[in-house]
Homo-oligomer: A and B are copies of this chain.
Amino acid sequence: MLINVEELKEAIIKAYETGNYDFVDDPHFFDEINIPIIAKAVSSIEDWNIIKSFLTKLPIEKISLIITELDDGLVEKILKEIDIKNIVQMIAEMDEEEAAEVVDQLPDEVKEEIIQKLDPKEYSEIAEYLKYPENSAARLTTRSFLKIYPYYTVGETLEIIRRKAEIGDLPDFLNYIYIVNSDDKLVGVVSLKELVISKPYLQVKSIMTIKLVYCSALDDKEEVAKLLRDYDLLAIPVVDKDQKLIGIITHDDIIEVIFEEYSEDILKSGAVESFEEPYVQLTPFQLAFKRATWLVFLFLASSLTSNVISSFSETLEKYVQLSFFIPLLVGTGGNSGSQSSVTILRSLALNELSEKDLFYIIKKEFKVGLFLSFQIGIVAVIYVLTMGIFVLKIRWEIVPVVVISQMLIVVWATLIGSILPIIAKKLKIDPAVMSAPFIATFVDATGLIIYFTVAKLILHI
């Protein structure tokens, strides 16, 4: 159908190498290729010079379209390269919501200068966005929608739509038309489809839906995403604290929110700081930087394990064979902890559980832990009685130590894995930071205490 990302990428690279950008000047270029394809191709190019060179060949209004499709990290880089004059022009062409995002990402050194060059009315609209927190519904809200009054007839409304279209003032999103009262409060909604099929003389109030789903400007955008999902909506109206309609959030922004959250959570699950640049455009140093802080933190936390083992060094000197099972026991603990933590994280993400359910979860996961512990106990008995005795040649008295401590560690880790995400949520920390590496590190140290304590008790050291 369309020229694909791979082909366009190659064309851009070739143009850079040969200096021949004729394909961009072809008047049909933008007719034949969609902006998202260009954005994807740009994202897939590793060498920043090639991207820069390609973008300078494009008209500024196309760049402003491409920018709205790119990851934040890349946008920031691009903005640094564009003339102030051109940025001002770009912002003027965007709708306020996108313009606000661009202004938000401007390099500090030019921000002031650009803001001063903007039309004051335009800037005040942008400032209106930026006063809301970054994760709020308000930041996704477009002011471009159609609102009418309840006493308008269907015919009048369609006429308004046609007149607005003629003067180029029609909102992009017109699948729903919102009905407000004289105080600008939302009272109903009607779909364009309903308008088309209704008798022209009817008043919209007689056909509008009054079972309204809406959100507040300060709502978290991830909650709005769940609302849109639950009600299969194409857009959600947003009201301010006085219940006045300030705009709408459309499906495309919501899908973006869901993908962003998804991509962030994948990274969090492995204890990596979230980033928004394409992988190919990050240098190895930058990639290492996204991981180093957590890795060092976890190293230091994990170093407690050395203290634990060293404090039991007497036991260990008498029974060196106990060390054979250290990684197995704590590793299995870490795994069962990770399992329970992701189970709880999923339910928190889907709003099935909340921090209020802490005791319910503890009770339930304790039972889950017992089942798993019993299961692993059986496997562990078989393992130590065969492999342990015959291959590793361990002493008989170690058998119960390994089995009992493995069983206790599994129950303990299952509990910890389920409690930590809830505690994080209570402390208003994203529970997703209770990632598998975090849980495993925590369980390592505590699991060792269980192991050596059981050893001391059973071996009478």
Contacts and interface: CB of A to CB of B under 8 A. Distances in A.
A458 interface: no
Contacts of A36: 230-232
Contacts of A295: 332, 335-336, 339, 372, 375-376, 410
A22 interface: no
Contact of A350 (B230, B263, B287, B321): B263
Nearest to A171: B193
Nearest to A444: B327
A135 to B, nearest CB: 18
Contact of A158 (B196, B261, B317, B323): B196
Contacts of A370: 284
B325 A306 contact: yes
Given A231-B36, A278-B352, A338-B270, A331 B346 contact: no
A78 interface: no
Interface in A64-93: 69
B441 A331 contact: yes
Given A213-B2, A303-B328, A368-B287, A272 B309 contact: no
Contact of A211 (B2, B214, B436): B2
Interface string A191-215: 0110111000000000000011110
B316 A323 contact: yes
Contact of A444 (B234, B265, B284, B331): B331
Interface in A199-244: 211-214, 228-232, 234
Interface residues of A, number: 130
Given A287-B343, A295-B372, A270 B436 contact: yes
A461 interface: no
A353 B279 CA distance: 8
Contacts of A43: 352
A57 interface: no
B34 A231 contact: yes
A320 interface: yes
Contacts of A259: 229, 258, 350
Interface in A349-390: 349-350, 352-353, 364-365, 367-368, 370-372, 375-376, 379-380, 383, 387-388
A56 B255 CA distance: 36
A213 B316 CA distance: 66
A35 to B, nearest CB: 9
A448 B292 CA distance: 22
A179 to B, nearest CB: 15
A302 interface: yes
A305 to B, nearest CB: 4
A9 interface: no
A280 B259 CA distance: 26
A201 to B, nearest CB: 14
A291 B339 contact: yes
Interface string A301-342: 011011101100100110011011111101110111011111
A103 interface: no
Contact of A324 (B234, B306, B410, B437): B306
A266 B371 contact: no
A459 interface: no
A435 interface: yes
A136 interface: no
A1 interface: yes
Interface string A266-293: 1101111000001110001101101110
Given A295-B375, A336-B291, A375-B295, A266 B342 contact: yes
Nearest 8 A/B pairs, CB to CB: A270-B342, A436-B436, A284-B367, A288-B371, A165-B197, A232-B252, A305-B327, A269-B269
23 contacts: A36-B230, A36-B231, A162-B197, A229-B252, A255-B258, A266-B269, A266-B345, A266-B349, A271-B338, A272-B343, A279-B347, A292-B375, A295-B336, A299-B335, A302-B332, A305-B327, A305-B328, A306-B325, A309-B326, A313-B320, A313-B321, A320-B320, A334-B440
Given A258-B258, A291-B336, A302-B327, 14 more contacts: A1-B212, A229-B256, A262-B265, A266-B342, A266-B345, A269-B436, A287-B343, A290-B343, A303-B387, A310-B391, A317-B320, A327-B330, A334-B440, A338-B435
